[in-house]
Amino acid sequence: MEKDLPTAAPAPQAEAVSLSSPVSALEGIGPKRAALLEQLGLRTLGDLLFHFPREYRDYRQITPIAEVRQGELATVEAEIIGMRHVRLPRRQSLAHLTLQDATGTMSATFFGRGFLVGTVFVKGARGLFTGKVSEYKGPCLANPEYELLTGDEEDLLNTGRLVPVYPAAEGLTQRMLRRWVRALLPLAAPLAAEALPGKLRARHGLPGMEEALREVHFPGSPENAASARRRLAFEELLVLQADILERRQSLRRESRAHPNRINGPLLKGLHRRLPFVLTGAQERAVSDIVSDMASPVPMLRLIQGDVGCGKTLVALHAVAVAADGGAQTAFMAPTEILAEQHAASLRELLEPMGLTVAVLTGNTPDSRRIRELVAGGGVDVVVGTHALFQESTRFKRLGLAVIDEQHRFGVCQRALLSAKGPRPDVLQMTATPIPRSLALTVFGEMDLTVIDEMPPGRQPVKTRRIPESKLPDLYRHIGKEAGLGRQTYIVCPLVEESAHRGGQTAVLRHFQELSEGPLAGVPAAVLHGRMCQEEKDAVLRAFRRGEVRVLFSTTVIEVGIDVPRATMMVIENAAEFGLTQLHQLRGRVGRGSETSYCFLLGKPKTPEGRERLEILCEHGSGFDIAEADLRLRGPGEVFGARQAGISDLRLADLILDARLLDLARREAAALIGKPKELNALRGSPFFGMQRQIQSA
């Protein structure tokens, strides 16, 4: 490369830089500032170009000085007619300016910026100053945004226009970021590939890439900003969706581990033995599953349905189909307790038909023997936690994997899908009823069945907040109900009192206090995650049988525990839990035909905590609650960070841009099978970014 570039003509520099050049390729960015930018994850010019404003300030309106009002935001265009460098204690300084326009004078102060006097601020200079008007010997702007006018309107970056506000970091000012981005735009914006086909852009009225980049950073109008943002967010979502659809397609090219036999004796037998009539939604789910399992492509289906809608029974049908074909099932539960429970209900229906069910968790005492049985084909269904997959359990003939309530995805699913060779059918179940387009993104490679109907006779759980003064009444009520055979869960956040989360109710102490106090004489027991498996089993069994009337528990009962006779749920320090978790906990009651209650205890410490409890009291549907949760916390938090790149989108918001997401999904589907256009899309600057994120 040529070293001695002619200094007069800057043009050749454009050839030298690319989007992957380091930020230091930009004038004014040395190693120190490059390090500051690195804090924001900005290493290359492309990163900086795609570092989008978080909002804009509208500083277009210019107010004559005579008309500025105290307390209001104003932009004035004025001449500097006087200035002082004021020294303050502790080596602080202040720049004090006197500004004048045709209608009057006012002052402006810049704290800590004394050094600007005589260097940047000079007498006679004209500029735009934007800030909140205060009063200090007449109207005064304190620490305003400013821009000195050079006569070239184009140069306005910091005021007198729609001004971008960037996510910034310690040591980086908005002024710096604006200046760099402005300098970068003419160099780098033309280098950003146009990845969207012209027809597609025309169809949705999307501006070209170069224009979008210009307008997203320094918009000529709010409409331009919105349109630029829409184009970029659309492209980002399109890239994400196309990627998901391609992954989905390639998964569908793999072949099934073992052929299934549809309508075999076990499926028929299961039908005869069903303890209830399936709901319409359960029927539909079963028929989706059966047709998946009949097809030559392995099943990859997500069953989404609110807590208590009866997903387990649906999954049993898949187990029966696999077993009819002589294949084994791995049934994954998120906790040991739930694994035990599933095993119990599977045994009840499957063992009479001659199938064997085993449990395998991290704590199974005779796990060696069980592993041997599984490997030898002596077990038809093995129920377990993810130990099932981590510890390289070998199956003789694995045909189906059922994954329950594992919306924090990950390990086992990836292990299953990336396993070389023939693939088992995969059925995943989740109680997180997220909006459809979002589900199709988060669980993008799967087919989706929604169970949107509850078994008959369910009543909404009456949910109330209970103030401390009413606690004696509550415990008296629980005691009385216990005498009538009704059962209660009391959930506490902790096992033992701990120093750093003091004030939260610990289950052991609470158990002791209540069973020696207001609940004396009521058969009660404790359940928590630090107990060994036998202890847990014994307690749950006693609760299930009704011998234990009040179960003190930590959140180990959160997922899936099913004791239809329990009708009351007390949640201590309720505001400490997340919304989805609260809904899951509440889902432990309201499973029978009797009216159930959920009592929320404790005073919320934050407004968000209060809001969570209010949402829970108002809404019974998991769908509404999931939406509210997504609004409050965002998808990154709800689904666990760094999942399929969804939490790291640069611009698009999976919730707020739901309609754009739908559109992107449809367009992505249309692009699949058009190699030329897909290839162009792979050139999208967003493509590389998501790759980086996913592999990070």
Most distant pair of Cα atoms in the chain: their distance: 97
Within 275-294, the residues that bind ligand ADP by CB under 6 A are: 276, 278-279, 282
How many residues comprise the chain?
696
Nearest by Cα to 690 from 50, 5, 89, 185? 50
Q: Which residues contact 308 (CB under 8 A, 6 or more apart)?
A: 454, 455, 458, 587, 590, 591
Question: For residues 106 and 99, what is the distance between their CA atoms, to the nearest angstrom?
Answer: 5
Task: Compose the 493-512 pattern: x for residues touching Mg ion by CB under 5 A, - for all others.
Answer: --------------------
Q: Establish if 590 lies at the interface with Mg ion (CB under 5 A).
A: no
Report whether 107 contacts 98 (CB < 8 A).
Answer: yes
Report whether 158 contacts 177 (CB < 8 A).
Answer: no
Within 581-600, the residues that bind ligand ADP by CB under 6 A are: 591
Q: Establish if 461 lies at the interface with ligand ADP (CB under 6 A).
A: no
Report whether 236 contacts 649 (CB < 8 A).
Answer: yes
The single-letter code of the amino acid at 528 is: H
Task: Compose the 555-574 pattern: x for residues touching Mg ion by CB under 5 A, - for all others.
Answer: -----x--------------
Within 128-167, the residues that bind ligand ADP by CB under 6 A are: none
Closest to ligand ADP by CB, 309 or 652: 309
Q: How far is the CB of 280 from ligand ADP (least distance, A)?
A: 10
Partner from Mg ion, ligand ADP, none contacting 492, C-beta within 5 to 8 A by type: none
Measured from the Cβ of residue 150, the count of other Cβ atoms closer than 10 Å reads 12
Task: Please give the residue whose beta carbon sits closest to ligand ADP in the complex.
Answer: 310
Partner from Mg ion, ligand ADP, none contacting 486, C-beta within 5 to 8 A by type: none
Q: How far is the CB of 598 from ligand ADP (least distance, A)?
A: 16
Partner from Mg ion, ligand ADP, none contacting 305, C-beta within 5 to 8 A by type: ligand ADP
Q: Establish if 310 lies at the interface with ligand ADP (CB under 6 A).
A: yes
Which listed residue (208, 435, 518, 564) binds ligand ADP by CB under 6 A?
564
Q: How far is the CB of 284 from ligand ADP (least distance, A)?
A: 12
Beta-sheet pairing, 126-135 with 145-148: antiparallel
Is 694 buried (19+), middle (13-18) or exposed (0-12) by CB count in 10 A? middle
Q: How far is the CB of 310 from ligand ADP (least distance, A)?
A: 3
Closest to ligand ADP by CB, 278 or 495: 278
Question: For residues 567 and 484, what is the distance between their CA atoms, to the nearest angstrom?
Answer: 12
Q: How far is the CB of 276 from ligand ADP (least distance, A)?
A: 3
Within 400-459, the residues that bind ligand ADP by CB under 6 A are: 431, 455
The single-letter code of the amino acid at 216 is: V
Helix (H) or strand (E) holding 427, with range, is: strand 425-430
CA atoms within 13 A on the CB side of 530: 5
Tell me which stretch binds ligand ADP (CB under 6 A): 462-470, 505-513, 558-566, 633-641. 558-566
Which listed residue (298, 560, 620, 635) binds ligand ADP by CB under 6 A?
560
Measured from the Cβ of residue 50, the count of other Cβ atoms closer than 10 Å reads 22
Closest to ligand ADP by CB, 454 or 651: 454
Nearest by Cα to 441 from 658, 633, 631? 658
Provide the token pair at 511. Answer: 């158990």
Query: Which residues of this protein are in contact with Mg ion, per CB under 5 A?
Result: 560
Query: Which residues of this protein are in contact with ligand ADP, per CB under 6 A?
Result: 276, 278-279, 282, 305, 307-313, 431, 455, 560, 562, 564, 591
